[in-house]
Structure 1
């Protein structure tokens, strides 16, 4: 009985409120283009104009309603062409997207993540800038979908508002049409509006692929959410399948940039890894090429002045990767088939501090005065072989280290073996890296002599096997095989052959040039001879 009485009071108050509002138009507050949405099933109270009779109609939840009038407690709304009142407590204000669901053009209200679908997961790949107009091509869940470069992107709908009747500005400048080029961002970069280059449309990180639609002055032209955008050309790497320029002195920073670029263009069959740090704190890099379970390794630039060996390995890597992607052959070798069986690990610069010392001088070192002192006061480092603290890295491996001949007692440009094996971080990094893997063979590239060292006290079937492979390498390069001899030790190849019992080789790539870097003019002939070496070794059986 008590519940019935309360219901009667609520009905009575609502009836009188509705009656008063319809009767007294002067108390109404007109709210133009206001829309609300029902929170739950709600009642629309309707008064018959002729009879004054009050009735109610149920409105479903999530129903969009246009407000015609409002009073203190109720909104007067149209529902199915019927005007009535609904309690304000039963509705909420509609969002602009609920009011304008079919609008294509929208504005980003605050800097918002630009999300790409990677393997079914939305990943943040940059931001779209506030106050920028875009055009949607669809919606999914709480996201708007826009056309973005060569793919589609997702933007959180809550951070946007529709722009009724909005249009994306069209540039009036003359854009040079080009056949679609594929590019990739070298670094984090901005996309600016082609209509007003001071307006930033989006900011995107490095290693994003893009389709280039045209060129204008120093910019490439791209499309983002209906906008014509500009990206500075210097921030873009074009897909060329030829990313390494091995001519001249090839620096540590060039190597890093090329490794990153190669990895970005060939992510499915390359992997870059930092395997340690040099004395001066430079990262030591490895890159894996291929998907095979069997493994081989190639390294270069143990000795600073022999930095052309880095050029050779990087160009080899570049050409192998290109052939892998295009499924072509090199010197008769089916590269993709071979590297699907055997992966090649390149360590292209074992001694980056030393290489940069030779190329750029003492100022490349953290302690310039110390290296000048180690160099007997000279600022000419062209003859330098050692690492930055004067230790010869190819005399550091634990293979007959205590009996190495010709050792210089003090650190300096060359031939000082250090205080103990593996004392230098560069050597320890390559040593640990090699132990972590199960390489079936290896090459350490050096630069002067046109010879191949292959022997380190092997006997029996190991001797026969290793000499047979060395003979193949000699036939390809024209380099002479060094006859077996007692002694030696401390070198990477020596340690590998002695401990791993696998084939290991030291290849000296050029004619003897003395205590200096190999002349640049030698490179093309050296490269021609050595290009297939990695493939020859990859093709060797694992035994």
Structure 2
């Protein structure tokens, strides 16, 4: 038995499999004549193999919010899975469906993590950890998507962390959000995270995460373009007429956001030799011409961070210097982060205009570009677990006293 499913905007094979509780192999076997590569198209029909329905029995005093929290499932998705009863008062003994109600940790580790997933995730952590997780929008992308900042901790020392500056490095976003949830859980429970004291870290350091700097670019890499995308013609041209976007690093205007900062920008532009929009390496018409780069710039100016970490992929390396502007403690910190993660601390030359470069030059404070994992971007989800241990170690270390 199977059911007919019509593809919606934002669907990918992995996202459909996750919501429907099936494997990718089962989806492909049920649709042997359907082309699902490189991207699914809205309106396309797929057969979904039948799977066992997961159910939850309502207990006394349950609410949608408490069930969502207990099961670690987004309240929004839980209600969508029970559309016929979501407006009714829950009754003890009532059965509600858990189909399509996926845990945020599953979204992060088992399917493409894009701006819509981040939007749901942000709402989830806000509701689940009131008073611990504080969220604000620090700006909008070219296409009007919110660029979220998440603050945790109350300490006087301030650390900034960002991810998905490059579109095809979106795995950094899901890894950072997994840390946000795990850190919040330990703060809420008061328990130690292994040997690490979350409460002590929170009292010492405030941390600001910007998990997805480039939401438009991430969406493009994961979903491609259709006839309804307002930038389709230009984007395909900039991508050398290729309709696959695995190699795309830029924002939706074809500007590399990590070449956008006022740190020897002109020299970087000449070194790159790219003078028009492209999938990568185009520095734009001027520093901070793109709203996503401006959002990071303004946040750093406002908060006066003590340290900054920008997560990229790949290579398992930590870049810690910039033209000798870095303070003496930068190398010490780099070696600390390398020791706990197994990454290599690298003194880098021949690169300018990145966020880390500007932060070091402007503030004379430690900043790091951290290249997670090994492989070809986007890194495979099969690496999520092992990379998370490394990212977790780096972030825990960065929150400790100097």
Q: Distance in 2 between matches of 1:493 and 1:292?
A: 23
Aligned twin of 1:335: 198
Matches within 5 A, 1:154-303: 178=59, 182-183=66-67, 186-187=75-76, 214-218=92-96, 245-303=108-166
Question: Counterpart of 2:352 in 1: which secondary structure?
Answer: coil
Aligned twin of 2:279: 413
Aligned twin of 2:294: 428
Question: Counterpart of 1:183 in 2: which secondary structure?
Answer: helix
RMSD: 2.8
Deviation for aligned residue 1:335: 0.5
Q: Distance in 1 between matches of 2:244 and 2:57?
A: 50
Question: Counterpart of 1:439 in 2: which secondary structure?
Answer: coil
Q: Aligned in 2, Cα 1:430/1:201: closer, same or farther, shift over 3 Å?
A: same
Q: Distance in 2 between matches of 1:277 and 1:304?
A: 16
User: Structure 2 stretches of 5 or more lacking a match?
Assistant: 1-55, 69-73
Q: Distance in 1 between matches of 2:317 and 2:340?
A: 12
Deviation for aligned residue 1:434: 1.0
Question: Counterpart of 1:362 in 2: which secondary structure?
Answer: coil
Task: Give the conservation status (yes or no) of the 8 Å contact 1:298–1:344.
Answer: yes
Deviation for aligned residue 1:408: 1.1
Q: Distance in 2 between matches of 1:457 and 1:375?
A: 33
Deviation for aligned residue 1:215: 4.0
User: Structure 1 stretches of 5 or more lacking a match?
Assistant: 1-174, 191-196, 203-211, 220-232
Q: Distance in 2 between matches of 1:499 and 1:476?
A: 28
Task: Give the conservation status (yes or no) of the 8 Å contact 1:447–1:507.
Answer: yes
Aligned twin of 2:235: 371
Deviation for aligned residue 1:540: 3.5
Deviation for aligned residue 1:521: 1.5
Q: Aligned in 2, Cα 1:324/1:382: closer, same or farther, shift over 3 Å?
A: same
Q: TM-score, normalised by structure 2?
A: 0.76
Task: Give the conservation status (yes or no) of the 8 Å contact 1:330–1:532.
Answer: no
Q: Aligned in 2, Cα 1:416/1:336: closer, same or farther, shift over 3 Å?
A: same
Q: Distance in 2 between matches of 1:502 and 1:415?
A: 26
Q: Aligned in 2, Cα 1:189/1:245: closer, same or farther, shift over 3 Å?
A: closer
- From 509, 519, 527, give the equivalent of 2:380: 519
Question: Counterpart of 1:279 in 2: which secondary structure?
Answer: coil
Deviation for aligned residue 1:369: 2.0
Aligned twin of 2:3: none
Question: Counterpart of 2:337 in 1: which secondary structure?
Answer: helix
Q: Aligned in 2, Cα 1:428/1:379: closer, same or farther, shift over 3 Å?
A: same
Q: Aligned in 2, Cα 1:538/1:356: closer, same or farther, shift over 3 Å?
A: same
Task: Give the conservation status (yes or no) of the 8 Å contact 1:244–1:315.
Answer: no
Task: Give the conservation status (yes or no) of the 8 Å contact 2:327–2:365.
Answer: no
Matches within 5 A, 1:450-489: 450-458=316-324, 463-485=327-349, 487-489=350-352
Deviation for aligned residue 1:337: 2.1
Deviation for aligned residue 1:463: 4.0
Q: Distance in 2 between matches of 1:321 and 1:176?
A: 27
Q: Distance in 1 between matches of 2:321 and 2:85?
A: 65
Higher strand content, 1 or 2:
1
Indicate the structure (1 or 2) with the bigger Cα radius of gyration: 1
Higher helix content, 1 or 2:
2
Deviation for aligned residue 1:296: 0.7
Deviation for aligned residue 1:244: 6.2
Moved beyond 4 Å, runs of 4+: 187-190, 197-202, 233-237, 240-244
Aligned twin of 1:529: 390
Matches within 5 A, 1:11-410: 178=59, 182-183=66-67, 186-187=75-76, 214-218=92-96, 245-363=108-226, 365-404=229-268, 405-410=271-276
Q: TM-score, normalised by structure 1?
A: 0.57
Q: Aligned in 2, Cα 1:531/1:215: closer, same or farther, shift over 3 Å?
A: farther
Question: Counterpart of 2:109 in 1: which secondary structure?
Answer: coil
Aligned twin of 2:50: none
Q: Aligned in 2, Cα 1:176/1:523: closer, same or farther, shift over 3 Å?
A: closer
Aligned twin of 2:362: 499
Q: Aligned in 2, Cα 1:329/1:247: closer, same or farther, shift over 3 Å?
A: farther
